[in-house]
Structure 1
Amino acid sequence: MQEYPGQQRILVAVDCIIFGFDGWNIKLLLVERNLEPEVGKWSLMGGFIHPSESPEDAANRVLEERTGLKNVYMEQFRVFGKPDRDPVERTLSIAYFALIDIQKYEKQLTSENHPEWFLLDEMPEMVFDHAEMVKLAKKQLRYKAALHPILFQLLPQRFTIPQLQALYEGVYQTQFDDRNFSRKLLSTGLLVKLAEKDKQSSKKGAFYYRLDPSNYEEKFEKFLNLVPNPDKFF
C-alpha cells in the first residue's frame, strides 16, 4: 500500500451529542465509557471511524452500538482536535448533534453501556473534552432553534402554550415571562386554538393549540421574537 512519506498516524473518531425532550425538559444522553482510560466514567457516544466508512456512517453505527438508537438524524457541526485531547493517541473527533423526542426513541435504548438521560443543569463530569463539546453543541442548537422550526417537530399535533414555553426554556436554559411569551406567541398568527383543554396540569386547564401550516413558511420569522436578547445565547 502506497503511503505519504514522513507523515505520522492520526486517529479520527466521531462523537454523538444527543439532546432529548421528554415533554417538559431538555436532557442529554450519556453512556458509561467501556474502555481505558477512564473506563466507567460518563461519556458521549464515541468511536473510531473504520477505513471503509464515511463520518456520517460511523456516527450512525457508533450511536446504535453504544445506545441502540437507530434512524436518528444527526447534524455534523464541528471538529475537535487539540493535540492533547486524548491522552492515549493523537485523535481528531468529528462531532454530531441531534435533538429528539425521548418518548419516541425510549424503547430502542439498550442497557449494555448504561445510557442515561441527564438534565442540562445536572450533567455529571465527563471524560476528555466532552463538556466543551456539549457547551458548543448547545449554542448551535439555540442558533438553529431561533432560525428553523426544529422545536415544533418535537411537539405533538396538539400542544399547550406552557408545553411550548417549557421546550424553549429548556433549550435556552432560562426563564421566560409567562404573559410576554404567550402574547408574543399568539401574535404570530401561526397557532390555531382548539376547543379542548389539558386538565392534567391544573384544575383550570390550558387550551390546546395546533400549528397552522397554511402560512407557516411566510410568517415563521415572527417566532424569532419569542427569545428575548437572543445574542447572549450564541
Structure 2
Amino acid sequence: MTFTSEHPPFAVAVDLAVFTIRDGALAVLLVERGEEPFRGSWALPGGFVEPDEDAEQAAWRELREETGMDRFPGHLEQLRTYSAPDRDPRQRVVSIAHVALAPDLPEPQAGTDAADARWWVVDDLLEGPDDLDGPTLAFDHRQILLDARERVRAKLEYTTLATEFVAEPFTLPELRRVYAAVWGSPPDLGNFRRKVLGTDGFVVPTDVRGEATEAGGRRALLYRRGPATLVTPPMVRG
C-alpha cells in the first residue's frame, strides 16, 4: 500500500549545549563548521537523527563523538524543540536541543565535518551580538545557548544539579564556586551552607579532608553527591 502526504518532508536534528567549568568560568563546547552552510562559523555540536535512532540516542551518540569519551560522566537532558521554518537554509530542519554538563571535560577534538573544536567562556559569547570577544554563532545557536544557560541557572536554584559540575570527592568551597560560575556571582555563604547541609541527601560527607590551605587553616571536609534531587525552598540566586 502506498501512502501519500500533502506535507513536505523535513529533517530532525539534535543540538548540544555541553557545559563544563574551566578556570572558574562556565564554558561551552563549540565546533567550527567545515562545511556549508555557515562554513567557518562556530556552532553548537550536533547532527541529524539517523533512521534507526530516536532523539535521545542521537544526542548520546553526538556527545560521545564530540567529547571523544566512550562514557559521558555527567548529566544530559532535553532542553526544547526549535522549529522555525527558516532556521536552516538547506531545508526544513527541526532541532531537538539538549543540555549536557560534567566536570573536568577534556580538550575536544574536531569531528569529521568540523574544522576545529574548543571551549568558549559562555559570557564572552552572550554579552551581545556585537561582542568582539566571541564569534557570531551559526543558525539559531545563540538563542539555544541563551536558553540552555538560563535552564542551568534556574535548575541550580531548586535542584542539586550543581554537584554534577564537580568531580568527587569535593569540598563545599568547590561546590559554591559552581554557583558563582553559573550565576555570575556566588550565593550568600550562610544561606548556601544551610541549604546544602540542611537538605537531606544533597551531599554526603566522607571521613577525609582536603589539602591544607596556603593560609594554613583547617582542611575542608570532602563530600560526595547524595541521592536528593530537589531543594525546597529554592536557593536564592546570587
- TM normalised by structure 1 equals 0.77
Is the Cα–Cα contact under 8 Å of residues 83 and 90 in structure 1 kept in the other structure?
A: yes
| CA deviation profile, 1:72-123 (whole Å, cap 9, x unmatched) | 35212211011111122121111111111224xx17x324432211122122
| CA deviation profile, 1:179-200 (whole Å, cap 9, x unmatched) | 5544654555766486735335
**In structure 2, how many angstroms separate the alpha carbons of the residues matched to 1:67 and 1:220?**
29
| CA deviation profile, 1:34-86 (whole Å, cap 9, x unmatched) | 21021121111121122222112222233334442433352122110111111
Shift of 1:19: 0.7
Aligned partner of 2:215 in structure 1 is: 203
* Greater share of helix: 1
Aligned partner of 2:24 in structure 1 is: 24
Aligned partner of 1:221 in structure 2 is: 231
Change in Cα spacing, 1:64 to 1:207, as seen in structure 2 (3 Å) is closer
Aligned partner of 1:132 in structure 2 is: 143
> Which amino acid in 1 is paired with 2:147?
L
Change in Cα spacing, 1:7 to 1:220, as seen in structure 2 (3 Å) is closer
What does 1:120-199 align with in structure 2 at a 5 Å threshold?
A: 120-123=122-125, 124=134, 125-178=136-189, 180-182=191-193, 185-186=196-197, 192=205, 196-199=209-212
Aligned-partner SS, 2:231: helix
> Which amino acid in 2 is paired with 1:203?
A
**In structure 2, how many angstroms separate the alpha carbons of the residues matched to 1:40 and 1:167?**
32
Gaps of at least 5 residues in structure 1 are 230-234
Aligned alpha-carbon RMSD (Å): 3.1
Change in Cα spacing, 1:74 to 1:182, as seen in structure 2 (3 Å) is closer
How many residues matched? 221
